[in-house]
């Protein structure tokens, strides 16, 4: 799939149309270094990448929230996008020269009833549905995981994590199960079971946390021994009680009192269990909110500003990172609070039942106290009542252990065939990686005279992908070269095994690379591989020996910014 055209328009008319080429596409910022220092270098060259990303599913906030715009939103850009009702239209073709399939995406920056998110003429306001349909149209699959946005995350490298990580291109809080689904999809391996695997993994974590709480009151084996001991004591006191003879009604009242106490014990234990779950939810919520509110913004911001000076290529503002982190925490809080209302309702119901049983307990106790029997019998009854209460509590705790252990077994039983199916594909996974490395080593060798390798690493969560770097941590420029080598290699790999993929690669901030490597990427690789390499670059960073006019798709400057405002 190739990008063909990006159009920016608003209610006043067309603002700009960008036509993409096959091979190298340069978005050139012609602002002089002197002017960049005084104006902040915000002509919009990186924004082109983000507009494409916006059309393909991002929320578009990074178009007006970016490190280029310092520590706050660019209100001028944000207001322009909404007040003038800007519409972005992206055209994608399945073949650059002879297309048989075409996708047209139209989006605006408005919300609710005014939201436009059109795919081939159909306005799809639900983001998840939009993601699924894009995935079906481009990758010809309806698997739930990975999402379309995750699949193309390596193709639009405009944010910090995508510019510094070769394969770990999702947000920092992504779980290994999600990465496994993404990595296997990239390798052309079926991932239709990964959504279920991720859900089961979350359920397993919750059950394991619950068992940690249960362990604080004793392991199951200890509870079994305690029940045995209590049963033997109950038998001992029942034998003593049987030696006394009282009327039938008195015996009936005694038995009723024992039943009431047993029910009270069970309800009390259930109340404690639910209360424990409630406390777990409250504690988890408080811990998550502490993560959000206890960040020392001023201190970390100072560190971030220092890092920005040392590493000019940092792409995400500190505020944006914090905002993303906090939004993710809010989603986690919503998830863990789902069960909270039903727990409160159950606690309320159990409290009513306990109040009713306490009333019966008082009435029965008063009747028995008024009856004539000696102190020895009274002592036996009290001991039996205490033992029955203890037995009820222990049996309820044992029930929780058995239920929880059963849940974990069920989860494991459901996970095992999923993992077995994935592990059974190890042979083809290794063959695919060997094929990928054929291109990866060749291209990395062409760039640096070094051969990088991709390999797998398995753990209890699944498959991980590792890029081996012989020399240790590379410099920023060399790291960017590694990333470019990986992305170019993937295009050739995907073509050879004939899987669906997108042919465009979009990279920001390649200026730190040495001229030799930059020339190799710009001329040799971008124009010999069946791809589009779309690069925003400032004019004075382009190697002087390169003739680049034929590759320029857009020139921007202080006098001709992207949105012309």
pLDDT, tens digit, 9 for 90 and up, residues 402-423: 989 998 888 888 888 777 777 7
Q: Measure the CA–CA gap between 376 and 240, rounded to whole angstroms.
A: 10
Measure CA 96 to chain center: 34
Pairing of β 102-108 and β 117-119:
antiparallel
Average pLDDT for 328-337: 76
Q: Measure the CA–CA gap between 441 and 448, rounded to whole angstroms.
A: 10
197-256 per-position pLDDT tens digit? 777 777 788 888 888 888 888 899 999 999 999 999 999 988 887 777 565 667 777 778
Contact (CB, 8 A) for 422 and 462: yes
Mean pLDDT, the chain, whole residue set: 84
The CATH number, out of the four listed (3.40.640, 3.30.1490, 3.40.50, 1.20.58), of the domain defined by the range 2-166+499-556: 3.40.50
- Tokens 């929320």 locate to 59
Q: Could you write out the three-class secondary structure of 122-181?
A: EECCCHHHHHHHHHHHHHCCCCCCCCHHHHHHHCEECCHHHHHCCCCCCCCCCCHHHHHH
Q: Measure the CA–CA gap between 502 and 487, rounded to whole angstroms.
A: 11
Higher pLDDT, 46 or 290: 46
Q: What is the pLDDT of residue 476?
A: 52
38-86 per-position pLDDT tens digit? 444 578 899 999 999 999 999 999 898 865 444 568 889 999 999 999 9
| Confidence grade of residue 36 (pLDDT, cut at 50, 70, 90) | low
491-537 per-position pLDDT tens digit? 999 999 999 999 999 998 776 666 677 777 777 788 889 999 999 98
Q: What is the pLDDT of residue 447?
A: 81
Average pLDDT for 159-185: 89
For the chain, the domains span 2-166+499-556, 203-422
> Which of 107-111, 122-126, 276-280, 285-289 shows the lowest mean pLDDT across its residues?
285-289
């Amino acid at each position: 799939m190739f990008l063909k055209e990006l159009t920016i328009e608003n209610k006043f008319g067309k603002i700009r149309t960008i036509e993409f080429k096959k091979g190298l596409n340069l978005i050139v910022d012609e602002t002089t270094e002197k002017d960049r220092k005084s104006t902040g270098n915000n002509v919009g060259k990186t924004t082109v990448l983000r507009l494409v990303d916006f059309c393909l599913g991002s929320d578009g906030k990074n178009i007006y929230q970016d490190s280029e715009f310092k520590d706050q939103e660019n209100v001028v850009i944000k207001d322009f996008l909404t007040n003038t009702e800007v519409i972005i239209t992206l055209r994608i073709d399945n073949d650059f020269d002879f297309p048989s399939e075409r996708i047209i995406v139209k989006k605006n920056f408005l919300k609710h009833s005014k939201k436009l998110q059109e795919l081939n003429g159909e306005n799809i306001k639900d983001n998840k549905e939009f993601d699924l349909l894009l995935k079906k149209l481009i990758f010809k699959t309806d698997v739930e995981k990975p999402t379309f946005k995750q699949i193309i995350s390596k193709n639009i490298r405009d944010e910090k994590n995508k510019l510094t990580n070769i394969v770990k291109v999702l947000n920092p809080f992504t779980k290994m199960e999600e990465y496994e689904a993404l990595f296997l999809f990239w390798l052309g391996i079926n991932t239709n079971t990964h959504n279920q695997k991720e859900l089961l993994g979350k359920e397993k974590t919750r059950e394991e946390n619950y068992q940690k709480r249960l362990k604080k009151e004793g392991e199951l084996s200890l509870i079994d021994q305690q029940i045995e001991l209590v049963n033997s004591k109950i038998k001992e006191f029942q034998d003593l009680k049987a030696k006394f003879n009282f009327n039938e009604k008195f015996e009936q009242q005694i038995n009723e009192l024992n039943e009431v106490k047993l029910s009270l014990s069970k309800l009390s234990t259930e109340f404690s269990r639910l209360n424990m779950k409630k406390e777990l939810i409250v504690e988890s919520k408080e811990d998550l909110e502490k993560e959000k509110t206890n960040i020392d913004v001023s201190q970390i911001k100072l560190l971030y500003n220092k890092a920005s000076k040392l590493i000019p290529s940092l792409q995400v503002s500190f505020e944006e990172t914090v905002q993303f982190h906090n939004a993710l925490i809010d989603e986690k809080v919503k998830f863990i609070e789902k069960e909270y209302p039903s727990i409160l309702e159950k606690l309320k119901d159990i409290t009513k039942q306990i109040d009713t049983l306490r009333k019966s307990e008082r009435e029965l106790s008063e009747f028995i106290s008024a009856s004539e029997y000696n102190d020895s019998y009274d002592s036996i009854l009290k001991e039996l009542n205490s033992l029955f209460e203890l037995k009820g509590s222990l049996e309820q705790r044992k029930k929780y252990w058995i239920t929880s252990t059963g849940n974990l077994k069920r989860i494991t039983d459901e996970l095992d065939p999923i993992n077995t199916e994935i592990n059974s594909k190890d042979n083809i996974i290794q063959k695919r990686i060997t094929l990928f490395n054929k291109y990866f080593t060749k291209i990395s060798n062409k760039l640096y005279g070094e051969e990088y390798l991709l390999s797998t690493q398995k753990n209890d969560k699944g498959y991980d992908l590792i890029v081996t770097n012989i020399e240790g941590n590379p410099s920023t420029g060399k790291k960017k070269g590694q990333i470019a080598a990986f992305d170019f290699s993937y295009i050739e790999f995907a073509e050879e095994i004939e899987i669906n993929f997108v042919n465009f690669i979009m990279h920001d901030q390649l200026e730190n690379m040495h001229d030799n490597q930059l020339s190799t990427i710009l001329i040799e690789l971008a124009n010999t591989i069946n791809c589009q390499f779309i690069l925003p670059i400032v004019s004075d960073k382009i190697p002087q020996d390169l003739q680049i006019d034929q590759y320029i798709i857009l020139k921007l400057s202080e006098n001709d910014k992207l949105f012309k405002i």
